[in-house]
Amino acid sequence: MLQQDFKTMITSHAVGSSAGSLPTRVIRPAGLSGLPPLVVLHGISRNADELVALFQPEAERSGRIVIVPHFAQATWPHFQRPSRAARPDQALLALLAHLAAIDPLLAGPADLFGHSGGAQLAHRFAMLYPHKLGRLHLAAAGWYCLPDSSMAYPYGLGVDATKVSLTWARRHQQALPAFLRLSVRVYVGAADDQRDDALRQSPQLDRGQGPTRIARAETYVARFRAAAEACGAMPDVTLTRLPGVAHDVAQAIRHGSLATFVTQDPTPRLAPAI
């Protein structure tokens, strides 16, 4: 049952960290359902304001608080994955800590959604900090860090011949068993099959993950399932194809019901491993 309030509020926050500042908007609906807060990550278009407008109706319908950070170009020229040059993961950790300190309703594990470049950051953040999250939603990522050693990091958890990737591969491996126990929902447009300029392309990546976002989503779900089973976990991962949707988050939300899937996912969560 929704807890009745007076009106939906959208508040702005500017959260600093050693990695950089992260401006954020928080949508607090008029009625609260008790569902976990949802963090929404934009892609390389950095359309945080548009995502606030697109998610507000679903926040109101679901009674869920929605948190929309903005990785501004000037501060975050690269934000899709943690690296020596950029630590968006630290900025997200600081944001979650700040919000938990000012609002008890934001103190528990959050669900995390990302589209395209935001999905790349989302699944890498989840690999590093699975204890911070509930359900993970990934839409139309251009490529993935596979949860196995079939490809060298950052495409997987293997190490290249020069061992340049060793440190980051190990960081992602440390929490891998907990990550593989998360509920993961992967989405891709059924028409998102173009090899556009925003899609990372290389012979190695095409061989290992597939030539399109659709193929790469299929590969990721299959590898996640296999990795979970290999470590004794029951895989809780699904792939949803959005009919008629290309690589466009607004189209996915308006015509593919993506925001509805993300905010109102009815699938039961698996009990935590003991």
Instruction: Please compute the mean of the pLDDT values over residues 162-189 and round it to a whole number.
Output: 91
Does 268 map to a domain? Answer: no
How would you classify the pairing of strands 66-69 and 22-28? Answer: antiparallel
Does 80 map to a domain? Answer: yes
CATH of the domain at 228: 3.40.50.1820
Does 152 map to a domain? Answer: yes
Does 273 map to a domain? Answer: no
- 273 falls in which pLDDT band (50, 70, 90)? very low
Does 45 map to a domain? Answer: yes
CA distances to 67, 120, 162, 183, 236 from 270, rounded to whole Å, are 24, 24, 40, 7, 7
Contact 248, 242 (CB under 8 A): no
Does 270 map to a domain? Answer: no
Instruction: Please compute the mean of the pLDDT values over residues 143-147 and round it to a whole number.
Output: 97
**What is the tens place of the pLDDT at every residue in 17-52?**
999 999 999 999 999 998 999 999 999 999 999 999
Structural domain for 132, as ranges:
3-263
Top-confidence residue, 162 or 226: 226
Dihedral, CA of residue 47, residue 249, residue 235 and residue 217, to nearest 10: -110
Contact 265, 135 (CB under 8 A): yes
Based on the number of CB atoms within 10 Å of its own CB, is 187 exposed (0-12), middle (13-18) or buried (19 or more)?
buried
CA distances to 147, 205, 220 from 155, rounded to whole Å, are 9, 8, 11
Residues 235, 226: Cα–Cα separation, whole Å: 8
Contact 27, 8 (CB under 8 A): yes
Contact 216, 209 (CB under 8 A): yes
Q: Tokens 């000037």 identify what position?
A: 74
- 271 falls in which pLDDT band (50, 70, 90)? very low
**Nearest alpha carbon to residue 258 among 92, 43, 82, 71:** 43
Does residue 3 carry a pLDDT above 60? no
Does residue 269 carry a pLDDT above 60? no
Does 38 map to a domain? Answer: yes
Residues in the chain: 274
**What is the tens place of the pLDDT at every residue in 107-130?**
889 999 999 999 999 999 999 999
Give Cβ neighbours of residue 132 (< 8 Å, ≥ 6 apart): 93, 96, 109, 110
| Structural domains of the chain, count | 1
